[in-house]
Amino acid sequence: MTKIKICGIKTVKDALAAMEAGADLIGFNFYPKSPRYIDVGTCRNIMSVMRKHGHVTYVGVFVNASVEEVYATIETCGLSLAQLHGDETPEMLSALNGKAFKAFRGIPSDIIGYERNDAPALLVDAAVKDVYGGSGVTADWSAAAELAKKYPLLLAGGLTPENVADAVRQVKPWGVDVASGVESAPGEKDAAKMSAFVKAVKQTIDDGR
């Protein structure tokens, strides 16, 4: 069953809509330069509501933050995992004791030291200069498919309700990650697009990929 992560949530309304649509993971972006940036206090307030509404996995997205900052944010907000989307080292990943996975912009030539035993093992996004996710550019699916044979891979990069079925068929990832592809404007989620995205993924699964 392909997992679905909806990332860049900024409001309770969008978080509830993502959950209602059928997301397995919900992501909050703590990178200040992102149009989907959320501060810790706002995320904590959203999480205080979300804990009453069933269980999904909550992920914090960080770009070159310190181990201390990542730990503190996870603890304060009650998140499950950290997605490290910058230039973090294997040592930093190790210091987070299984609570984090590495996101790569482009296909990594070597992931030694970045392996994670649990799923997702890693995330593959499109390679866009100076952009840390949410670019709307499609990743290299053929190369990602080779990685997905070896690791429980989370595929990001330019996914939409229109192309995600093809992505799932070609890459066969552990999960798919969407941000800009289900928005009406940067940082504003569209409930209908989120539902359509989830439906497209589940339809692909029903069709046996």
Q: What domains are defined for the chain? A: 3-206 (3.20.20.70)
- List the chain pLDDT tens, one digit each, 209 residues: 899 999 999 999 999 999 999 999 999 999 999 999 999 999 999 999 998 887 899 999 999 999 999 999 999 999 999 999 999 999 999 999 999 999 998 888 778 889 888 999 999 987 655 544 454 567 789 989 999 999 999 999 999 999 999 999 999 999 999 999 999 999 999 999 999 999 999 988 666 55
Strands (E), the chain: 3-7, 25-29, 57-62, 81-84, 100-105, 122-125, 153-155, 175-178, 183-185, 188-189
DSSP label of 87: S
Please tell me the predicted confidence (pLDDT) of residue 132. 47
7 is catalytic: yes
Instruction: Exactly one of 7, 24, 43, 77 is catalytic; name it.
Output: 7
Instruction: Please identify which of the residues 14, 43, 77, 125 carries the catalytic annotation.
Output: 125
Which is nearest to 6 in space by CA: 208, 189, 167, 166? 189
DSSP code per residue over 111-140 = -TTT--SSSP-EEEE---TT--S---PPP-
Predicted local confidence at residue 206, as pLDDT? 61
Active-site annotation holds for 125: yes
- Find out whether 165 and 171 touch, Cβ atoms under 8 Å: no
